[in-house]
Amino acid sequence: MEKTNSFVARFVESLIKNDIMKDSEAQSFVKEFKGRAKGNVVSFLLEEGLVEREDILRALASMYSVPSFDVSGHFFNHELLVLFPKDFLVKHCLIPLDIDEDILTVVMSNPEDEKAIEEIGNYVNYNITVNVGIQDHILEAIKEYYDEDVITTDVEELLRDDEYFEDESGDDDSDMIDYY
C-alpha cells in the first residue's frame, strides 16, 4: 500500500480487507462522506452508526500495522500526562499510555507521524511504542485530563502531602540552606 494514497482510500481498503464493510457499502459511504462540506471519516462513520468503535479500531490497527487502543473511559496516569504540554498532545493527537521500564507507550491517531514521535524526545527519554486510537476520543481524553480543576487539585494534593516541607520533627526548615 503506497503512502501517497489518501487516508480515506487506505481506511476504506482496510474496512473491506477486515470484512467490516463490503465493497459496495464502502463506495456508497465514501460518496456520501465526500458530499459533506468537511469532517473526519472516522467521526462520520461513528456519528452515522455505520461502523462500531471496535471495528474502526480493528481497521486502523490493520491499516497502520500497530495495536489499537480504545481511550474511551480509560483512566490515564496523570503523572505521565503532565510530562507533556497540552498543545503538543493536541497538535499531534497523541496521549501517553504507560511506561514499562525504558519504553513509553503512546496512543496516536496517526502512528505514521514521525515528527511527533521524534518530538516526544524533547520531553522524555524513553524508547517509544505506538498504538493507534480514534482521533476524537484521544482529543476528548486530553481535554478531560488537562482540565484546570484536575491540575489545580493535583497541585493542592502535592502541597498537602509535603506539608510545606516540614521535617519529621515538625520544624519548618524550608528557609534553611545547606552549605556543603
Stretch 160-178: mean pLDDT: 49
CA nearest to 83, candidates 31, 133, 136, 119:
119
Q: How far is CA 19 from CA 7, 50, 59, in A?
A: 18, 13, 9
pLDDT tens digits for 84-106?
999 999 999 999 999 999 999 99
**Residues of 77-99 as b/e, b for ≥16 C-beta within 10 angstroms?**
eeebbbebeeeebeebbbbbbee
Using a 10 angstrom Cβ sphere, with 0-12 exposed, 13-18 middle and 19 or more buried, the burial of residue 136 is middle
For the domain 78-164, what is the CATH code? Answer: 3.30.300.160
The percentage of the chain sitting over the pLDDT mark of 90, rounded to a whole number, equals 52
pLDDT tens digits for 52-77?
999 999 999 999 999 999 999 888 88
Q: Residue 41: which region, alpha, beta or left (left: phi > 0; alpha: psi -120 to 50)?
A: alpha
Structural domain boundaries in the chain = 7-64, 78-164
C-alpha cell read off for 28: 456508497
